[in-house]
Amino acid sequence: MCPENDPLGDTKLSQRIYDNLAEHQRAEPWHGQSMIELLQTWADRFVAEFNLDIPEVVIGIDPLPCTRYGQFRMGHNGLGLRGEITLNARYLDGKRPLWEILGTLLHELLHGWQQAHGSPSKKNHHNRELREKAAQLGLLIGPTGLTGYAAGGPFKALLGQFGVEAPATESPIPERRPRGHSKQKKWSCGCTVGRFGVATVNLRCETCGKRMELCL
């Protein structure tokens, strides 16, 4: 038991909780075991090499909306933990290059840095402070969170030290979010548009009386 009213003891106890959770994720046989181990290793590198000094980090893998590669949860999650980072399982397992996955991880870690040491905005989670910090490391983050990468910078230099290949040219900030890989196709009668996941559609629009045709 930590002595009563001992802030240092409380801090050490809290840190053990995060450390024990990370150890459990690496030891438990589950579908994300190998990926979590990789992400934790790189999170430790980013925090150490870039002096982020993030006291609390929890990394998870879960399906998220297809428009997100990852997310950071401000404040406490439902388990009372802070610093929760979730990477979208839809875009792992070879669906994106490793260097891009690590770029997403660093992006989310910067939210943790700002939560601990900066001034997060209530309405804009990608405010000027966060974007300027990211630019110092070689990440180009737009106001809506879309992320590009500078031609060089500390991020790519660190990847190179550990044999992770990344483009030597700049990757500009994307113009739109990822859309996923839906199997639904667009059909239209001329006045109405619908999306269907079947090979043929035999529908007639009640408004204009025309049949739905596949949009090519």
What is the distance of C-alpha 198 from the center of its chain? 32
Token reading at 68: 């997100």
Domain ranges, ordered by start, for the chain: 8-161, 182-216
The CATH code of the domain at 8-161 is 3.30.2010.10
Q: How many CB atoms sit inside 10 A of residue 38's CB?
A: 15
Per-residue pLDDT of the chain (216 residues; tens, 9 = 90+): 344 555 545 677 788 999 999 999 999 999 999 999 999 999 999 999 999 999 999 999 999 999 999 999 999 999 999 999 999 999 998 999 999 999 999 999 999 999 999 999 988 789 999 999 999 999 999 999 999 999 999 999 999 999 999 999 999 999 998 886 555 566 677 777 776 666 676 778 878 888 878 775
- pTM for this entry: 0.80
Please state, in angstroms and rounded to a whole number, the distance separating the CA atoms of residues 78 and 111.
Answer: 18
Please state, in angstroms and rounded to a whole number, the distance separating the CA atoms of residues 120 and 15.
Answer: 23
Q: Are 50 and 154 in contact (CB under 8 A)?
A: yes
